[in-house]
Amino acid sequence: MTPTGPLFFHLGASHQTTPLAHREKLALPPERAAELHARLAAAGALREVALLNTCNRVEFYAVAADSDALARLETAFCELQRIAPADFAAFRQHTAGPEAIRHLIAVAAGLESQLLGENEIFGQVKVAYETAQSAGTTGPVLNRVFQKAFQAAKHIRTNTGISGGQVSTANVAVELALTIFGDLTKARVLLLGAGEIGEKTAKAFLSRGAAALTVSSRTAERAMELARVLDATALPFEHFHNHLESFDIVVSATSAPDAIILPGHVSAAMRKRRARPLFFIDLALPRDIDAGVADLENVFLYNLDDLGKIAAQNLATREADVARARILIAEKADALWQQLLARHG
Amino acid sequence: MPTLTDKTWLWIAAACYLAGVVMGTIALWRERRHSRAVMYVIVAAGYTFQTFGLYLRGLEVKGCPLGNTFELFQFTAWSAATLYLIIGPAFRLSLLGYFTALLSAALTFTALAVPAWDATRRVGIFGGNPWIEFHAALALFSYGIFGLLALTSVLYLLRHYSLKSKRLGGVFAFLPPIRDLDQIGYRLLGAGVAILAISLAVGSVHWLRDLSSVASFKLVATVGILVAYGTTLALRAAGRLVGQRFASVCALLYLAALLSLWPVNSSRPAAPTTPPPAVGLNVSSSPAAAPSPEAASR
> Is residue A4 predicted with pLDDT exceeding 90?
no
The Cα of A233 is separated from the nearest Cα of chain B by a number of Å equal to: 26
Percentage with pLDDT > 70 across chain A = 98
CA distances (Å), origin A273, targets A51, A148, A294, A304, B249: 54, 52, 16, 26, 20
Label residue A2 by pLDDT band (50, 70, 90). very low
Convert the pLDDT of each residue in A105-153 to its tens digit. Answer: 999 999 998 878 888 899 999 999 998 898 888 999 999 999 999 999 9
> Is residue B190 predicted with pLDDT exceeding 80?
yes
User: By a Cβ cutoff of 8 Å, what residues of chain B touch chain A?
Assistant: 159, 163-164, 166, 168-169, 175-180, 182, 186, 236, 238-239, 242-246
Convert the pLDDT of each residue in B198-224 to its tens digit. Answer: 999 988 877 777 767 667 777 888 889
Q: Do A302 and B164 touch (CB under 8 A)?
A: no
What beta strand segments (E) does A71-186 contain?
Answer: 93-96
> Is residue A173 predicted with pLDDT exceeding 70?
yes
Q: Do B182 and A179 touch (CB under 8 A)?
A: no
For residue A112, the Cα-to-chain-centroid distance in whole angstroms is 11
Greater confidence (A35 vs A13) lies with A13
> Is residue B298 predicted with pLDDT exceeding 50?
no
Name the residue among B169, B177, B239 with its Cβ closest to that of A180: B177
Contact present, A15 and A38 (Cβ < 8 Å) = no
Residue A78 annotated as catalytic:
no
**Upstream peptide bond of B2 is cis (omega within 30 degrees of 0):** no
Catalytic residue among A55, A90, A127, A312: A55
Nearest CA in chain B to A293: B164
Task: Say whether residue A173 is in contact with chain B using an 8 A CB cutoff.
Answer: no
Neighbours of A291 (CB within 10 A): 12
> Is residue B291 predicted with pLDDT exceeding 60?
no
pLDDT of residue B289: 37
Convert the pLDDT of each residue in B102-136 to its tens digit. Answer: 889 999 999 999 888 887 766 666 666 777 878 88
Contact present, A256 and A198 (Cβ < 8 Å) = no
Range with the lowest mean pLDDT among A61-75, B60-74, B237-251?
B60-74
pTM over 0.80: no
Convert the pLDDT of each residue in A243-296 to its tens digit. Answer: 999 999 999 999 888 999 999 999 999 999 988 999 999 998 889 999 999 999
Q: CA triplet A240, A244, A249: central angle to 5 degrees?
A: 110
Radius of gyration of chain B (CA): 20
Convert the pLDDT of each residue in B1-26 to its tens digit. Answer: 457 888 999 999 999 999 999 998 88
Greater confidence (B276 vs A104) lies with A104
Average pLDDT over residues B43-70: 87
pLDDT of residue B292: 36
**d(Cα A94, Cα B209) in Å, to the nearest integer?**
92
Mutation pick from A157, A158, A179 vs chain B, by most beta carbons of B within 10 Å, is: A179
Greater confidence (B169 vs B268) lies with B169
Which residues on neighbouring strands pair with residue A49, listed in sequence order?
A: A62
pLDDT of residue B47: 95
Label residue A19 by pLDDT band (50, 70, 90). confident
Nearest CA in chain A to B168: A310
What ipTM was assigned to the predicted interfaces of this complex? 0.70
Taking the alpha carbons at both ends of chain B, their separation in whole angstroms is: 35
Mutation pick from A160, A266, A296, A298 vs chain B, by most beta carbons of B within 10 Å, is: A298
Nearest CA in chain B to A187: B179
